[in-house]
Amino acid sequence: MFNIIIFGAPGSGKGTQGQILTDRYQLTHISTGEVLREKIRKQTPLGKLADEYISKGQLVPDNVVIDILTKFFADNPTSNGYIFDGFPRTLRQGEAMDEMLAEKNESINVVLWLDVDDDELVERLVNRGKEMGRNDDNLETIKSRLKVYYQKTAPLKKFYSKQGKLVKINGMGTVEEIFSRIEKVIDSLSTKI
């Protein structure tokens, strides 16, 4: 199994590159953001709760997203490899994920950190807000998401760097250019496993 975390600030291309990676390597993909948006669309109790946080640019509480991951593993007990997109976003989530994988005698192989300038992040998200109408893609909420990213999510870089798993990818450029950088990293690592 080859397990990947795709990591980065909001708008860094996690969802975009995560989907391409899933198709290219036949991985099992989870985007916690997508799962939460689906619950919001269906107006489930969890969706209503998540909406209160997402619409303000805040993180949904750890226990809620950790439960989503637990269910994901129950629904997908075996795989070629998993790709985690938008999870973990806090140290507690990272620790919980390591424990869940250890129970399956598995671990994370690589954390791909998509590094993108803040100005570019804001521009991508503002554009998506105009095109797709996602209610968390407005300037005020985007600023708060970036602040939360630097406070709560960016410390995970140290967590994975200490484990020797963090690989920085230049996330500026076209989708194809960025994917080709990712592909080189995965191909070089997977031959060593």
Q: Cα-atom radius of gyration of the chain, to the nearest Å?
A: 16
Contacts of 40 by beta carbon, 8 Å cutoff, 6+ apart? 47, 48, 50, 51, 54
In DSSP notation, 126-187 reads HHHHHHH--TT-SHHHHHHHHHHIIIIITTHHHHHHHTT-EEEEE--S-HHHHHHHHHHHHH
State how far the Cα of 82 lies from the Cα of 139, in Å rounded to an integer: 32
Q: Is 128 in the site for ligand B4P (CB under 6 A)?
A: yes
Q: Is 54 in the site for ligand B4P (CB under 6 A)?
A: yes
The interface mask with ligand B4P, positions 134-173, x = CB under 6 A, is --x--------x----------------------------
Which helix (H) or strand (E) is 86 found in, with range? none
- Quickly tell me which residue has 């909420």 as its tokens: 141
Closest to ligand B4P by CB, 120 or 193: 120
Applying CB under 6 A, among 4, 32, 111, 186 the residue interacting with ligand B4P is 32
Applying CB under 6 A, among 5, 14, 73, 82 the residue interacting with ligand B4P is 14
Applying CB under 6 A, among 124, 156, 165, 182 the residue interacting with ligand B4P is 124
Q: Is 33 in the site for ligand B4P (CB under 6 A)?
A: yes
Shortest Å, Cβ 135 to ligand B4P: 11
Shortest Å, Cβ 188 to ligand B4P: 22
Q: Is 15 in the site for ligand B4P (CB under 6 A)?
A: yes
The two tokens of residue 49 are: 């709760």
- Give the burial class of 30: count Cβ atoms within 10 A of its Cβ; 0-12 exposed, 13-18 middle, 19 or more buried: buried
Chain residues in the site for ligand B4P (CB under 6 A): 10-16, 31-33, 36, 53-54, 59-60, 65, 86-87, 89, 93, 124, 128, 136, 145, 174-175, 178
